Structure 1
Amino acid sequence: MRRPRPTEESRARAARITQALADLLPDEPLPASPSEPGSAGRRAARGGDCPGCGEPLQATAARHGVEFDTCGTCGGIWLDAGELEALTSGLDPIPGTGAQNEADLRARVPAPAPREADIRYRECPRCREVMNRRNFGTISGVIVDECRHHGLFLDAGELEEVEAFLRAGGRAVGEAARARAAARSMPPAPPQLETPRSARHETAATSVVDVLWNLLFT
């Protein structure tokens, strides 16, 4: 698969995104030595090539246990498994103030920015396996590339779209939409079958009628 060549415009956009992330999450020094068992293995696993353009990923900031791996060329972001949940926890609105349905949600959240017209399946920077594409929150319209073992990749601007979706109450609306879809996909309940007990009762009643008929009329 041919990788896109970086342009001056894309480099400038990536620089703006990197600066915005730096302002959002002030740089903190990474620990010089592992503070818990197994942490050295996790640190060694970071890095890799950007799934979007193939340039090296760089760890840019760390805060509350979330460390960004960003691409300085296309502005993409890699988050290890569980880091997106940690980063977006607490963004849901107060109960009763979020969107009540999909129409309400669409009125509050602008449509995601258009991406590339062709569908590309990208490789995980950790294991090099092809990642799955999924619609974040079922109905957000933000298509993320996800490795079921290692994490997910967000194109430039998609993190902000995910945050806007959650702040508007999209998590609850998406879960309701997923539940309705699951209910529609379930097969219909089988028709009620006659129980053996009722069948035996009818057979016994028929036998009594036959005996009386024979006694009276034969």
Structure 2
Amino acid sequence: MKTTKRTVELLSGTTLAIRPDNYYRHPLLYNVVQSGYVIGGLKHSVSRAGYNSFGLYGVVKGEVVLKTKNKTYKAHAGDTLFFSQEDAHTVVNGGDIPYEAYFAYLYGPEVKGFYDSFQSKFGCVMTDFIPPSLENAIQQTTAMIQSGNENKYLISSLLYNVLTELLQKCDESDGRDGITDAIKYVMEHYKEKITLDTLSSMAYTDKFYFIRQFHSLTGFTPKEYQ
């Protein structure tokens, strides 16, 4: 069941394009439910669940926080936030200044596959990278929808290009950023009992892959390192 709860504080400079609920979704094309450039005030908050689309934010300024049932993700300026709208979640301003971001709630034939690849390496936040084509894709898509002069094939091409840039970044990463974070965590909490499940979850990898990568970086297994 779809649910939405909002505390709206959108500031001057925000541009939005929003589809009606009965908008036809072409099964072979990529498109958006909403898109634009959002400037969210300190109280701006959106909670959703049950939507068959994915949120994609390129954060330009400030901090955007995604809260899910079990985790909280923070995306700062220069980061990409990518998440499923099917699961219950809340997007809020996480800083003490308004945040600014290019965003799209998008759908398409293989968006879930792109999302799964992203999440397996980075969780919901890719730090220090925004797809180079995102700004142009959002600007063109939003302008076409607002004007009523939409080229759905061009929009699909623009969004697919953004997704492939994310996928390329995922493929270039071997997941070691997460491993490095786990190593740092072990060093800072060496007096505590830390499980392999906890460490592999921090790195967004399965336990066996985590052990191999951990050993390749440190020369020890996680158990030997503690």
TM-score (normalizing by structure 1): 0.28
Higher Rg of the two aligned structures: 1
Larger relative strand fraction: 2
